[in-house]
Structure 1
Amino acid sequence: MSVRRLAEDSVQPAEFAFNREFAAQAKVWIKKYPKGREQSAVIPLLMLAQEQDGWVTKRAIESIADMLGMPYIRALEVATFYTQFQLKPVGKRAHVQVCGTTPCMLRGSEALMEVCRTKIHPEPFHLNESGTLSWEEVECQGACVNAPMVMIFKDSYEDLTPERLAYIIDRFEAGRPEDVTPGPQIARTYSAPAGGLTTLTSEIKPGGKGGAKSASGNAKSPEATKAARPERDSTETDTKSPEKAKANVKADAKTAETATDAPKMSAARKASDTASDAEPAAAKAADVPSLDDKNRPAGIDKPENPDDLKLISGVGPKIEGILHSLGIYTYQQVASWKKAERDWVDGYLKFKGRIDREDWVKQAKALAKGGEAEYIKVFGKKPR
């Protein structure tokens, strides 16, 4: 790794202080560590400083060291060691991190870097003329299946072509990042196959087409098995002793009895199989609570300005749409759910306990009380 140094004094600000929002987050992070171990919060505090100002300044490092009671050199060692910290000013509107690791390189990341050289600056870690854009090459960022990709601040943009990246950069430069949706830039759902699903596209029922083979993988038909086994001549019945002869007679009688009862057994088995097939269907229908259930939360008419339910961790656009269809539009509604109501919604969404695990009620109470600021105060991070 190359030597990383702080920016020149000419660009360093004279002072640093967390604003009110980030100061509250810093206090939450420090409290996460045992007494006497508060210095362990140096990394998250440096990240907060970077999120606030866009990069980590010399005064930010010193100020954080003072907050944690640690020598300046220790905080400086952390800031210069981890490449996630930007030690020089970056673009105010976008800092483009282009992945150059093997999967992205094989899928065209060099062409993406050429776009950055053309549209931003010939060299990484340099601002464009207006100071709004910058770029760098980075190591793997975990979206290998959707290569090539870039990160812009906290969002990833994947399955890129040079033309698509050029358009994205133009949107950020124009101050309109909302025109581009993060994630795959092709017709792909998250990291699913680009051409759609290729496996598990249909259910295979036991005994049906595509069922399991034998343990060896080469199941033989009954006819083939019979052909491979020599037939025993009827004259070979073992009657060498009276005892064995009696045993054979008893066996023949049992066989005849079984054959007589075979139609009854077949009918019983068929009835049992029919009942077994019906059970999953009935169970599946019972899994989804009825809309007329008394435990269903009360809905309301859509207000003029409904709350953004997507700020609740665990609620995306699709889930928000389902909640709206149930008449759920505000944080206060979610915050007031009792156990029975939470269980009803959890069952309706088939979440298997996610609502309680992710504590939607506590999140909604914080958002209803004071929006993002209260959420940060309670959870130590921004919603979503």
Structure 2
Amino acid sequence: MAQKEGRREFLKRSVLASAGAALALSPINNTLALLTNGKKVKLGYIGVGGRGQHLLRLLFDQQISSDYEVVTICDNYQPSIDAALEIFKEYGRPVPKIFLSHQKMVKNIALDGVVVATPLFAHAHISIDCMNAGIHVLCEKAMARTLDDTKAMYDTHIKTGSILLIGHQRIFSKVYTNAINQIHNGKLGEIGQIRAYWHRNNDWRRPVPKNKPYLEKKINWRLYNEYSAGLLTELMSHQLQIANWALKQNPTSVMGTGSIRYWKDGRQVDDNIALIYSYPDGTQFVYDSLNCNKKYGCQEHILGSKGAMELETNKFYSENPPQAPGILQLINDIEKDVFRDAQIGGASWVPETAVKYEGETIITNKQKGDGTAEELVHFIKCIQKKSAPEWILKEGYNTSIWTLLGEQAIESGTKITCPEKYLI
């Protein structure tokens, strides 16, 4: 038994050492370390609905209040403003200046950076106005509602030099960073396919005040084509980014289909979709999402010749899992008074009661959250340094472009490629 425990400890130390080495390779690590230069970064939040409020709480929860101050918030919906002000009060933070339009905010208050958490269709003109004013931007994903607006955001970043980060927070998750490093170092062998899905069982609607039906599209903007591409921009874009990141490539084409199968309630966006993205090396990214069944939840499967990873659940499965130690199993059976005939002459003998292989963890001591808190802190650090890793923006840009091309594939029923003018 001592020998068995020794081997267990050896394997544990090996896994921990491997995890540490993988994290050291990542350009995104230690993002919650204390900041340094003593000057407070002045932040504004544009859009303080559900997502904006979540981002406020996450930032206020970090122990770095000496490095930043949220000095202003902007929204054109009073209930959202009121809810955000309650968060400031709850955390004992100074009351921010309030604006109903981002143009007035930019004109009347000095800001270093803004967090843009408005509905998708408003991302582009807000982010562009802020960058043109010399304000750095962290914008929620996807970048914009149209291909042209997405490219305009990128071009404005290049023209002004203002930082532009897009909210694909899994780039900052230790599980995902560790997994991608292992993949790039050959842990899975040659990648054959990536599969992902995001399944929910709800109508995705938010309540509209009964006496204000005209607020329907304002509140439920995710359900209308003018404002959102639904499951594509709000969910799939996260997982397409992971596929691009893992493969270190962008797709060459996409095919797709979708329909409103279940929620026939006046919405315009599909409630179920399926797409296949093809990559230059022949790898396929197979994706589906729906709103009427939650059994399978959210997951990314990266499948290679040596193993598979399930990133959402922090699991690795080798193609050659360890076999049950036959003699030890026999001893265990004897100890339990279970006797049966068994052939033990061959070196490859494994009993029928072989231990079920349940995989291994990608990283131990998994952090709480999905990387969003780290993303917010990273944004503040980038503002202090006046620079940000360009590859992160390119991940956001290419993902946003190919997400919208996926929408075109569904609408046209044809295979879609990327027009040259959107390539960067």
TM-score by length of 1: 0.25
More helix per residue: 1 or 2?
1
Instruction: Name the one with the larger strand percent.
Output: 2
Larger radius of gyration: 1
Q: Comparing both chains, which one has the higher relative contact order based on Cα–Cα distances under 8 Å and sequence gaps of 6 or more?
A: 2
